[in-house]
Amino acid sequence: MVSILRDLGLMSKLLYHDLAQKFNYSYEEKGLVIYCKKQSTLDEEAHVAQLANQIGIEAKVLDKKAVLDLVTKIHPKGAAAVYFPGDAHLNPTELIESLKKYLLEKGVLIKNSSELLSIQSAGDEITSLEIQSNGQKETIEVGRLVLAASSWSGILAKIFRIKLPMQAGKGYSVSKSQFPSKEIFKPNILVETRVAITPMSGKFVRFGGTMEIGGLDSTINMNRVRGIIKSVPDFFPVNTFDLPKKEEVCYGFRSRSPDGLPYIGQSNYFRNFVINTGHAIMGISLAPASGKLIAQQLLDKKN
């Protein structure tokens, strides 16, 4: 399982790297730092680093001095860190906007706010879909079809006569342009509180975290957001910011399969239907490689 995710991740990184020039999204290869406040957590993460090295992913333990040299000018309170130099990050909003622009230029029709209601089939082929947009029903002819509805895929799968166990894990993020990002050079995960701090190409810093298992409930739990914000000065002694307004908080669902692996592949019933979903906390990281696999399957190509 670990080596499948590693290979998808490495392939995705190469694709993101190459596409960044063409699509003009900010993409940075600055590594990832896992901060540990307690020595016991650092010991566990050091063990993870050892396992990572065994499967060819570079990871090293940084002492406090190395953290100050390499990662931040703010003296962190933690015991030290584990560093993954090969990690990369990008701005997801810029990525999606640039992909959307490209697709529209190529003549692709994007239907927003449209709900799939049912499918029609003939033999082993899906022939059309019934969708609803702004209360209006519409039938769309189908050539090939991909189910990529993340946390909603389990519900939608029933329409395709398949069972796809899926659990949604809600997470929140807040972005701040005033945070002293120049003093934090690399993306971090504050491991004890599971909060990610990501400086986005000098423009803003994103704070994200939590894994709320409560179905597809879209209410924003400000106690969870408070937990994210409060954990920052526990690691970095900086003047932090106030609790944001609800409107400033973003949330999303991570789609989780029972074994943590994504569902990628051909349906048993329909030969023009494939599934690409369940990427959990790695949906952006694994998207290009899983998209490529699915495209090859649909186009019936081997390379």
Ligand X SMILES: Cc1cc2nc3c(=O)[nH]c(=O)nc-3n(C[C@H](O)[C@H](O)[C@H](O)COP(=O)(O)OP(=O)(O)OC[C@H]3O[C@@H](n4cnc5c(N)ncnc54)[C@H](O)[C@@H]3O)c2cc1C
- State which residue, 132 or 272, has the beta carbon closest to ligand X: 132
Closest to 31 in 3D by CA, of 204, 195, 188 = 188
- For tokens 């999606």, the residue is 96
8 binds ligand X (CB under 6 A): no
| Rounded (10°) angle between helices 2-23 and 92-105 | 60
C-beta of 29: minimal distance to ligand X in Å? 15
Positive or negative: CA dihedral 27, 33, 35, 40: positive
285 binds ligand X (CB under 6 A): yes
**DSSP H or E stretch at residue 156:** helix 153-157
175 binds ligand X (CB under 6 A): no
Specify the 3-state DSSP secondary structure of 188.
strand
Q: Segment contacting ligand X (CB under 6 A): 78-86, 118-126, 171-179, 291-299?
A: 171-179
283 binds ligand X (CB under 6 A): yes
199 binds ligand X (CB under 6 A): no
C-beta of 39: minimal distance to ligand X in Å? 26
Closest to 116 in 3D by CA, of 97, 133, 96 = 133
Q: What is the largest CA-CA distance in the chain?
A: 66
Specify the 3-state DSSP secondary structure of 294.
helix
Within 8 A by CB and 6+ apart from 218, the residues are 251
Q: Kindly identify the residues of this chain, within the stretch 66-125, that bind ligand X according to CB under 6 A.
A: 115-116
- State which residue, 116 or 200, has the beta carbon closest to ligand X: 116
- State which residue, 171 or 199, has the beta carbon closest to ligand X: 171
What backbone torsions phi and psi does residue 27 show, to the nearest 5 degrees? -135, 125
- State which residue, 126 or 156, has the beta carbon closest to ligand X: 156
Using CB under 6 A as the criterion, what x/- string covers residues 118-157 for binding ligand X? Answer: ------------------------------xxxxx---x-
Report the distance separating Cα 157 and Cα 153, nearest Å: 6
- State which residue, 72 or 276, has the beta carbon closest to ligand X: 276
- State which residue, 110 or 302, has the beta carbon closest to ligand X: 110
- State which residue, 70 or 131, has the beta carbon closest to ligand X: 131
C-beta of 152: minimal distance to ligand X in Å? 3
CB 11 within 8 A of CB 88: no
C-beta of 263: minimal distance to ligand X in Å? 11
**DSSP H or E stretch at residue 118:** strand 114-122
Kindly list the residues in this chain that would bind ligand X in the complex (CB under 6 A): 115-116, 148-152, 156, 171-173, 208, 252-254, 279, 281-285
